[in-house]
Amino acid sequence: MATLALTDCYVELATIDYSSHFTSATIDYSTELLEDTAFGDTSRSRVAGLKEWTLTLELNLDYASSSIDSVLFPLVGTSVAIEIRPTSSAVSSSNPSYTGNAFLESYQPINGSVGELATASITFTGTGNLSRAES
């Protein structure tokens, strides 16, 4: 089993690599569990329902022209293509690519207290399937 320290995670929004701005990435991929227990059953029974996914990113804010703030601000309320990989290396069996389209529901362009690093946390909510590719 190979293990990996996330030091080079690849984050692409709308076909542009913005990896250098992000400090944390979390994909949450889940399914609804629907109860189908009926009379006569002695234990609860469930079936898998619809799947859903979110991508939460932590980032260091940058307000320079054409930087991350100018990219994220207009994305609120719109769907954007996303690609995430464990490293910036080419897609492979040990570096899968996760892709999908997602909405950015909200963005805090200013977040912090005096003397703190300007950071933000954003969450994209999938608008369809999350795909996983190995090559």
Return the domain boundaries, the chain.
Answer: 10-133
Label residue 131 by pLDDT band (50, 70, 90): very high
* pTM of the full structure: 0.90
Which of 60, 59, 75, 73 has the alpha carbon at shortest distance from 26? 59
- What's the mean pLDDT when you consider all of the chain? 94
pLDDT in tens, 53-70: 999 999 999 999 888 999
How does pLDDT run across 17-55, given as a tens digit for each residue? 999 999 999 999 999 999 999 999 999 999 999 999 999
Residue that is written with structure tokens 């009379």 in the block: 39
Class of the CATH-defined domain 10-133:
mainly beta
Per-residue pLDDT, averaged over 82-108, amounts to 96
